[in-house]
Structure 1
Amino acid sequence: MKMIPSSPHDTNSSAERRFFDRLRAAFEQSKHSDRNAELTAFHSLNLTRHAYKRFGEIDFVILGPQGILVLEVKGGGIGCHDGVWYSTDRSGASHRLKESPFRQAESAMHGLRNRVEAALSRSICAQFVWGYGVVFPDCVWSASGAEWDRAMVADLCGVKNTERWLSGLFRYWHERDGRQREPATAQAVTQVARFLRPELDVGVPLHVTLDELEERVAALTEDQMDLLDIVDANPRVICTGGAGTGKTFLGLELARRWAGAGKQVLLACQSPWLKHWLEKRFAIAGVSVSVAKAAATTARRSGIEQFDALIVDEGQDLLNMDALDRLDRMLKGGLEQGRWCFFHDVNNQAGYFGPPDADALAMLESYSAARMPLKRNCRNTRQILSEVQSALGADMGVRGTGDGPEVLHREVETREDIAKLLATEIERLTGPAGLTPAEITILSPQPLRHSVFDFLPGKLAAKIVELDEFALRDFPPAQISFAEIANFKGLENEAVILVDLHREADVHRSVTDRYVGMSRARSLLITIDGNGASI
């Protein structure tokens, strides 16, 4: 059976984890001939970082042409005395349940059904039979009662043959439905799955601070969900996408899932800035973040010799034989036989660490690696996306996040003029009802002391903080931030002002600076170019 997610979310219930494995193995032998092989199981959300759990009371949702089932799993012993339900844990301690497991499953089914029917057309919803069941994997259930029929219960014996029980549960609810129905169409199943998948798999976007989690969350896009399916089916995957297509976010989601399945995961990158930011802001048990050259040291500090799985972010910076050799030694099975996902950008981001080695990429591809392009931009507004694509010819995906302010271009002759214009734009952006200083980052191809910073009024300069790799642990700061473009790879902010963008002798580096710098802005982008010889 297909599982979403591919490994169980963190849960304190060992019963859920064991039943997850039972469902995953179900119908494997009949997958080419039995309609039950088309079933998909959705495991309830139990993320440590998300704003809400839309169907948090549902342990499992089973979806297929036969219908939709809601399953409640209760581990340990189960009892009911004087109308009050109890569960008993391994130590023998009893815990009072808020309601009957059967009533809990039934109310969850009705809640889910109401949401699906409100979201999808009547012709789609009418194709499905709805039902629910309860799983008691640790006890033998022989009791009878008015709340349940025997077919609705999977006990210790029923769980051992999950296929038979689920097939019987579908038959039971079809008989209760009383109508002759054809199986739901593939289109109907797909529409319900697409409704459930984003809402049942919510993750944290990169720009959300820990204090904002209740206000801003992002669902995985369809492209990203497709990639998770591909990663589940292939031990080695090369994922390509332009800036803003969610590669880092998706890498974090994969790392969390693999670690949740008990793997020791290495998340490797080239930039110390990105490493420090990820390490601080997205600490995940079982996941070690490291720059590639320090992978061996990171493994020793984790008390292991090799990692079970590898995720590479900003991989275009690591497409050389030396870096890949380091990673190969740190991965069980090596790059040829191990489990890994390599995220990279084929555009202009590799100019800071030398051009990528075509032989290195060919070597990765030769290891039976599946290919997956990310096509949807989920960072930049339509205006920023269009500007980067038209000015640089870079493919940053399609659609974007919606409409935003127009991109502003300014051209001046001297650095003094750049500084004056920069001061004017900052004053405008931070005016009444404007942005907070934390939402503004100034990017330059030059270090702070070689940029226009020295030409700014002292009062404004005092409000700007220079970023370094350690300051990224608390990004964004309360002040307006400044960084070199090369160091800001993989990061982003609401508004970005690019300065010092005069022509350089190194044309490729100039294009790289513009691509990386412009794509860091989520909502508002301002470029201040110098076209005079005096700059």
Structure 2
Amino acid sequence: MRVIPSEITSRSVSAAERSVFKALKDIADEKSVALHSVHLPRHQKKRVGEIDFVVIMPDLLLFIEVKGGRVRTEDGNWYYGPRGREEARESPFAQANGGMHEIERLLGARIGDLRNQGVASGYLVITPDVDLDRTTEFEPQQYLGTTAYNGGRGLALGIDRAIRFWLPRNRWAHTPISDTLRRKILDAIRPEFDLVPNLQSRLMHLDAAFERLTAEQLDRLDELESMPRLVWTGGAGTGKTFLAAEAARRKSATGTVLFTCASRTLATHLSLDLADQKVTVLPFHRLDEVRDRHFDHLIVDEAQDLMTFAELDELDNLLSDGLTAGRWLFMLDQNNQVLKTDSFDPEARDYLFSLGSVYGPMKRNCRNTEQIVSQVRT
């Protein structure tokens, strides 16, 4: 099953969510898409809400709530977390139900009432580490405990059981949901709720500042999993550096990452932004500091300033399996050689392009918007 984002870091989510994340990816289902950590900034009962996973399937829109570690109740309150000390007034079933209805409301405002379009919905609560005692609050088909979950091996069966449980309870259901409608649901949720901290917010530690990724940018990030060698091209302001930083975060979950560029100032800025990640950030002129190492992933920003065979050879020596078979991402604006205008070798560019998949030019300008250009022109 396709999961968005395609990778997550160990620091960003709990071990329980990482387990479900992997189990979803292991399910042999090419038609369904799961979105991780869907935020609800306008939840009616909370200032900020979140659904752990939203799974868009041909038969059902399934909302998954994951509770890892210890789970206990006392005096009507629920407690979660490693030691069962994180208090919540609602049960996980009430949380899942509330999130489900809030998403339905928000989607209805954007793409039309889901019931009128025959879309069935339901939820599933998963506690990968414990088994909850049966209560009147849930039916067995709405829950997957540690025994049935079985380290993720029982997730596919649990989802099938949930589908069979929920479909008869959605009398308006028309299955399968059309590909067009499922695409509308995905497009409505992803740009609205899949938020990534921008560079400025991380640099200034302003947790409240977030940037929405455009659909084009998200598609590029999703390519990381299936394409080991990528070149993204685009002009100034199309978000190449922003995407490169987010790509580095995601790749750090699966191995060592080297992030380099020709600009010392940009490298300093990115080293601060990626300080909490397992990413080595160095300007190109300092790569001799790691010449005895080999990295699993290489990310090069403003690659047009490093586009000679000599510089590509140096990068090749630092990457496991080299440029021909290794895993890398180059961000390139071939019309803008800022640092070394006389060192851009078209033959080196063509050689690099022959080794990987090339996308571009990216069309969405995130910095030089129409409004900004109009003001400058005025």
Q: TM-score, normalised by structure 2?
A: 0.88
2: CA distance, partners of 1:123 / 1:108: 15
1:316 correspondence with 2:304: yes
Measured after TM superposition, the shift of residue 298 of structure 1 is 4.4
2: CA distance, partners of 1:75 / 1:218: 29
Q: 1:56 to 1:346 in 2, by over 3 A?
A: farther
Q: 1:255 to 1:299 in 2, by over 3 A?
A: farther
2: CA distance, partners of 1:364 / 1:333: 15
2: CA distance, partners of 1:205 / 1:106: 31
8 Å CA contact 1:296, 1:330 repeated in 2: no
2: CA distance, partners of 1:198 / 1:284: 25
1:369 correspondence with 2:361: no
2: CA distance, partners of 1:344 / 1:214: 30
8 Å CA contact 1:234, 1:370 repeated in 2: no
Aligned to 2:106: 115
1:3 correspondence with 2:3: yes
Aligned to 2:287: 295
**Pairs aligned (count):** 369
Aligned to 1:148: 138
Look up the equivalent residue of 2:78 and give its one-letter code.
W
2: CA distance, partners of 1:291 / 1:54: 42
CA deviation vs aligned residue, 1:80-127 (integer Å, no higher than 9, x gap): 3553334473xxx43253121111111111222221112222378733
Q: 1:263 to 1:100 in 2, by over 3 A?
A: same
Out of 119, 125, 144, the position equivalent to 1:134 is 125
Larger Rg computed on CA atoms: 1
Measured after TM superposition, the shift of residue 168 of structure 1 is 1.6
CA deviation vs aligned residue, 1:290-335 (integer Å, no higher than 9, x gap): 12232241477xxxx2222111100011111111111111112211
The 5-angstrom pairing of residues 384-463 of structure 1 reads 404-407=374-377
Look up the equivalent residue of 2:268 and give its one-letter code.
H
8 Å CA contact 1:54, 1:199 repeated in 2: no
CA deviation vs aligned residue, 1:455-513 (integer Å, no higher than 9, x gap): xxxxxxxxxxxxxxxxxxxxxxxxxxxxxxxxxxxxxxxxxxxxxxxxxxxxxxxxxxx
1: CA distance, partners of 2:47 / 2:321: 39
Bigger CA drift: 273-282 or 172-181? 273-282
CA deviation vs aligned residue, 1:55-90 (integer Å, no higher than 9, x gap): 74211111122221111111224333553334473x
Look up the equivalent residue of 2:300 and give its one-letter code.
V
8 Å CA contact 1:199, 1:219 repeated in 2: yes
Secondary structure of 1:122's counterpart equals coil
Look up the equivalent residue of 2:194 and give its one-letter code.
D
Measured after TM superposition, the shift of residue 348 of structure 1 is 3.4
Aligned to 1:100: 91
Aligned to 2:322: 334
Aligned to 1:279: 271
8 Å CA contact 2:298, 2:319 repeated in 1: yes
1: CA distance, partners of 2:51 / 2:206: 22
Aligned to 2:368: 380
Look up the equivalent residue of 1:405 and give its one-letter code.
Q
Aligned to 2:182: 189
Measured after TM superposition, the shift of residue 150 of structure 1 is 0.3
2: CA distance, partners of 1:147 / 1:404: 57
Out of 54, 57, 60, the position equivalent to 2:50 is 57
Secondary structure of 1:256's counterpart equals helix
2: CA distance, partners of 1:368 / 1:345: 16
Aligned to 2:37: 44
CA deviation vs aligned residue, 1:195-231 (integer Å, no higher than 9, x gap): 2112332234456685584675321111111111222
Q: 1:177 to 1:406 in 2, by over 3 A?
A: same
1: CA distance, partners of 2:47 / 2:242: 21
Out of 58, 78, 81, the position equivalent to 1:85 is 78
1:265 correspondence with 2:257: yes
Structure 2: tracts of 5 or more residues without a match: none
Look up the equivalent residue of 1:347 and give its one-letter code.
N
2: CA distance, partners of 1:239 / 1:158: 43
Bigger CA drift: 310-319 or 264-273? 264-273
Q: TM-score, normalised by structure 1?
A: 0.63
Q: 1:299 to 1:164 in 2, by over 3 A?
A: farther
Structure 1: tracts of 5 or more residues without a match: 32-36, 383-400, 409-535
